[in-house]
Structure 1
Amino acid sequence: MDQLLNPSMLVLARDSRELTQSKLAGLMTVRTDGSPPVTQGYVSKAESGAVAVTGERLALFADVLGYPEELLVLPGDVYGFGTACIHHRKRQSLSAPAVRRVHAYLNLARIQMRRLLVSTGVQPANAYFRFPLSAVDTARDAAAEVRRRWGVPDGPVESVVALLEAAGGVVVPRETPSRAWDAVSQWPEGEAPVFLLNAATPTDRQRFTLAHELGHMICHPHPVPEQEQQADEFAAEFLMPASQILDEMSSGLNIEQLGQLKQRWKVSMAALVRRAHDLAVISDWRYRSLNVELSSLGYRTDEPGPLKPEKPGLPSRAFRAWITQQGAGVDDLAARTLLTAAEFHEVFQSAGLEDQLVRDDCHHEGVERD
């Protein structure tokens, strides 16, 4: 029986290439020498499930989109904007097509890593939980509860990425030309939480962003109007617990002290200024003057004292385990992640997730066994 295209996967693949239906139809027409032409209406019907796509037409979609047919026929759901299980931290300048592309990257990362993790057994058990907010139970309470349940020691969180992975989450950085988005995350029912992180952003922003996304996962199974503020409150308490950082701040907080606190707590100077104000350590006037000083020094866009990057370990462990268990090569690994070998390197090596074992495999047919 011929394989049948999954309309949801077609939309995902098209969005990931940031193509309109008309543009995709035009590219397909060129590949078939224009006889007969592929129309935008046909692509629309294929994406809605109004026409069944198999055989040569399925192969044409796969060829033009640059994905294996296996991705386009994969069963399952794709989660996009407005669904309860997806959250994102972005700026207003990010266009709607770019948002769809980032969401497509997130869904791809979830699908790709699930295919590897289920078969390799390297992923820790899922320790994520829900903490519904109320007038009594606040986002700060939720952050404290996560630190307690996950056994986070007092003081700064050593590595947010490592903590999320140890609790059973998946963190995947992705290189993109735009800095207008920071991260997107999703926690579909019955699956592991997934965080897609913009690899172009600085470490201090990545840490706060991941804590913000964790706040969404823990506190917001359903969207609420105040969720962004609540997620920021969660992140601030998670990374800078009030009871632990208060003694290190003073009403005379200055730029030099902010630089020292940044290195200790591994958050941005701007986040520290905001935290000091929220905790009533500094006055409204001092808060405004510090922000003006940060801006005049250019620290709003480029803070001094960059922090050491936090790189996920789970994807690399999954790559190693799959290659070793299967006795396969990097081309097979790329196929397992539903990518061509070239795109596998582009997606994972550029983000620093492709470790030496995988790189070496480019030059050898197999992997040496211990």
Structure 2
Amino acid sequence: MEGGVLVIGEASAHPPMLVMARESRAMTQADVAEAMTKILDGEGNVSQGYVSKAEAGRLAVTGDRLALYARALRYPPHLLCLDADIEGAGVGLIHHRKKASLTTTSLRTIHAQLNLVRLQLHNLLRAVEKPPAVLFEHIDVDDYDTAEDAAQTLRARWGLPRGPIESVVGAIESAGGLVLRRSLAGRELDAVSQWPTGERPIFVLNTHASADRQRFTLSHELGHVVMHVVPNGSQEQQADQFASEFLLPARDIGPHLRADIDLDRLYELKKIWRVSMAALLRRAHTLGAVSDWRYRQLNIELSTLGYRTTEPQVSPRETPVLVPALIGHLQQVQHLTVADLARLAGLHEDEFSDSFLMELGTP
């Protein structure tokens, strides 16, 4: 008996990995059973009850049935046989800014996608001879040491100059964090992050997210992984405070925020600081540069002009380079083929290429 299932001299699926793989595809147990039955093409029938028993570890999924299961989930069979905890894809503390419209089912899909990304990166990094150093560390926040203090501390430890940060993605990657872009179950979630114990912080940006919000969203997630080892009731507010100070330090942005600030001024500041006009207005209000009345008035103007949805002068997206560089190293220096890399990542070659090689410009 291994991992709760009976193994008889051959590879057997690991039940938690069956669940994770299914949820990453946004499939129900009935969907998996239907997909398996369709593949059998009249030569057999698979019930939802079978899938339920397999996921519960009440029967072994081996041999031809393992191959069938893998085809239904569109993953290589060996992925389903991995132990999620041992392979670095077990459940850990996951951070995100959840919107009210995000369903529990979508959230489970996103969590499964993140944990599989974690597994993929874990296995790819193990193949790198000298992976980059990790310069992340936890910073405690309490009644005396605030989220703003944490942002100032991190900027100092990372040697970031005063004023606008040239690239938030670049700062995170220089510190050894891993940033990727993926499609995350629609538009309800801009990003998700995780710092597994003993591994690297991972940040996944939704490809559907607004470019204007990307830097603030990523800084928000950075605040989570740095400050929040365990969840607390104030963590979303703290992450916003961290992001505001990290991107718009009070001593640097303060002199540029005035009581008579208007949309034209916010537009000019946006081009310099590369955050949304709404974020700049919120910062001006937080720092006491504009009154409550003026803050409400300008927010009404933003809404009337449709700037809540799309602002003028859309900021350019920052592009992750560390993961593509690591994959390029594995290809060019260690001579791993796409097939080798796909196997390490637990993906078929076409999906690996779509997920990891497009940013390299590799066909």
In the TM superposition, residue 33 of structure 1 has moved relative to its aligned partner by: 4.1
Which amino acid is 1:144 matched to?
Q
SS in 2 for 1:44: helix
In the TM superposition, residue 287 of structure 1 has moved relative to its aligned partner by: 0.3
In the TM superposition, residue 122 of structure 1 has moved relative to its aligned partner by: 5.5
- Alignment pair present for 1:10 and 2:18: yes
Q: Which residue of 2 aligns with 1:365?
A: none
Q: Deviations over 1:71-105 (max 9, x none)?
A: 1112233455xx5x211123211222211221122
Is 1:15–1:101's contact at 8 Å kept on the other side of the alignment? yes
Question: Which stretch has the larger CA shift, 133-142 or 173-182?
Answer: 173-182
Matched residues in 2 for 1:168 and 1:303: separation?
32
User: Compared with structure 1, are the counterparts of its residues 79 and 226 closer, same or farther at alpha carbon in structure 2 (3 Å cutoff)?
Assistant: farther
Q: Summarize the alignment of residues 219-258 of structure 1 with structure 2, pairs less than 5 Å apart.
A: 219-258=227-266
Is 1:13–1:104's contact at 8 Å kept on the other side of the alignment? yes
Matched residues in 1 for 2:273 and 2:302: separation?
18
- Alignment pair present for 1:131 and 2:135: no
In the TM superposition, residue 30 of structure 1 has moved relative to its aligned partner by: 2.5
Matched residues in 2 for 1:115 and 1:323: separation?
15
| Alignment size in residue pairs | 352
- Alignment pair present for 1:293 and 2:301: yes
Q: Which residue of 2 aligns with 1:196?
A: 204
Is 1:175–1:347's contact at 8 Å kept on the other side of the alignment? no
Matched residues in 1 for 2:129 and 2:101: separation?
40
Q: Which residue of 2 aligns with 1:105?
A: 113
- Alignment pair present for 1:71 and 2:79: yes
Matched residues in 2 for 1:121 and 1:228: separation?
38
Q: Deviations over 1:267-300 (max 9, x none)?
A: 1000001000000000000100110000111110
Alignment counterpart, residue 148 of structure 1, candidates 125, 148, 156:
156
Question: Which stretch has the larger CA shift, 253-262 or 23-32?
Answer: 23-32
Q: Which residue of 1 aligns with 2:59?
A: 51
Q: Summarize the alignment of residues 1-370 of structure 1 with structure 2, pairs less than 5 Å apart.
A: 1-33=9-41, 36-77=44-85, 78-79=89-90, 83=92, 85-121=93-129, 123-176=131-184, 178-348=186-356, 353=359, 355-356=360-361, 358-359=362-363
Give the TM-score normalised by the residue count of structure 1.
0.91
Is 2:214–2:317's contact at 8 Å kept on the other side of the alignment? no
Give the TM-score normalised by the residue count of structure 2.
0.92
Which amino acid is 2:72 matched to?
V
SS in 2 for 1:301: coil
In the TM superposition, residue 348 of structure 1 has moved relative to its aligned partner by: 3.4
Q: Deviations over 1:128-155 (max 9, x none)?
A: 1112221101111111111111111111
Is 2:191–2:204's contact at 8 Å kept on the other side of the alignment? yes
| 5+ long unaligned stretches in structure 1 | 360-370
Matched residues in 2 for 1:48 and 1:86: separation?
24
Is 2:109–2:185's contact at 8 Å kept on the other side of the alignment? no
Q: Which residue of 2 aligns with 1:363?
A: none
Is 1:155–1:244's contact at 8 Å kept on the other side of the alignment? yes
| 5+ long unaligned stretches in structure 2 | 1-8
In the TM superposition, residue 121 of structure 1 has moved relative to its aligned partner by: 3.8
Matched residues in 2 for 1:67 and 1:290: separation?
50
Is 2:84–2:90's contact at 8 Å kept on the other side of the alignment? no
Identity of paired residues, percent?
A: 48
Q: Deviations over 1:205-259 (max 9, x none)?
A: 1111111111111111111111111110111011001111100110011111101
Q: Deviations over 1:150-172 (max 9, x none)?
A: 11111111101011111111001
Matched residues in 1 for 2:318 and 2:131: separation?
18
Matched residues in 1 for 2:108 and 2:84: separation?
18
Q: Which residue of 1 aligns with 2:3?
A: none
